[in-house]
Amino acid sequence: MSYQWRKEMQCPWDKSFKKYKDWYPEYYKTKYEICKKINPGTIVEIGVRAGYSADAFLQACPTATYIGYDADNGQHGGKKGLFAKPYMEWAKKHLALYDYNVTINFPVDSQKVDTLALADFYHIDGDHSKEGVMHDLDTCYNSAELGAHLLIDDIDYIDDVKDGVYEWLEIHKDSITYEYIETKRGDILMKKIK
Ligand SMILES: C[S@@+](CC[C@H](N)C(=O)[O-])C[C@H]1O[C@@H](n2cnc3c(N)ncnc32)[C@H](O)[C@@H]1O
């Protein structure tokens, strides 16, 4: 089976969808391929939004357990407003159509926690500030089992993310291996070795 951008997954109140509709299938195909290669048993994601990346991961590994966290704070691609419905409601509804094992926790501000669920794959896509990314990397690293993978994107798209990731990698160079993956926005895939 290969990745499918599922039309029914499109969140009706996702206004940015129009702008990105030609772009999403390839972007999420990359997420699918990375996850397929790792083949995790448990996936933890910071930054669920409407569940598009969650869907890609679960298409790749349908028997994996997925645990997502989102602050629903209107920041970094999120939505907040008097009449705004949380994107995560949509993610829950859509993912429930399939035989997946999914838990979505919101609102949870990842900056206010130091540990998340134990997993062998973490996708960090929440707070995109330099400090936010470094905090989330600490949290995921501390929560992860040995040999776990940590994936973070927007390396070539948001300078703060790039700065945070490379500063964090310098501090943790003895306990992490990593590879840069050339994707639409630049991904770094890390492995916890200590
Ligand atoms: C770029 S979107 C995630 C997109 C999603 N991973 C996907 O590809 O389908 C970022 C998400 O992170 C959430 N977020 C922002 N700051 C956060 C924080 N401090 N803790 C947890 N989630 C946060 C936002 O609410 C938003 O839904």
pLDDT, block means (10 residues), the chain with 194 residues: 90 83 92 98 97 98 98 78 80 96 97 98 98 98 98 97 98 98 96 97
Ligand 1 atom 2: residue of nearest CA: 77
Tokens at residue 49, please? 């939004």
Contact assessment for residue 119 and residue 113, using Cβ atoms and an 8 Å cutoff: no
Q: What is the distance between the alpha carbons of residues 51 and 145, in angstroms, rounded to a whole number?
A: 24
Give 70 Cα–ligand 1 centroid separation in angstroms. 6
Find the farthest-apart pair of alpha carbons in the chain and give their distance in angstroms, rounded.
48
Residue ranges around ligand 1 (CB below 6 Å): 46-47, 49, 52-53, 69-73, 75-78, 87, 109-111, 125-127
Secondary structure letter of residue 111 according to DSSP = G
CATH number for the segment(s) 14-192 = 3.40.50.150
Domain ranges in the chain? 14-192
Q: What is the pLDDT of residue 14?
A: 85
In the chain, what is the straight-line distance between the N-terminal and C-terminal CA atoms, in Å?
Answer: 34
pTM of the entire predicted model: 0.96
Q: Quote the pLDDT of residue 80.
A: 60
pLDDT given for residue 20 in this prediction:
83
pLDDT value of position 78: 67
Residues written for the chain: 194
**How far, in Å, is the centroid of ligand 1 from the Cα of 89?**
14
pLDDT for 82 equals 60
Helices (H), the chain: 17-20, 24-38, 52-60, 87-95, 130-143, 159-171
Task: Note whether 173 and 155 are within 8 A (CB).
Answer: no
Q: How far apart are CA 168 and CA 74, in angstroms?
A: 26
Say if residue 40 is preceded by a cis peptide, omega within 30 of 0.
no
Ligand 1 atom 8: residue of nearest CA: 53
Output the pLDDT for position 119.
98
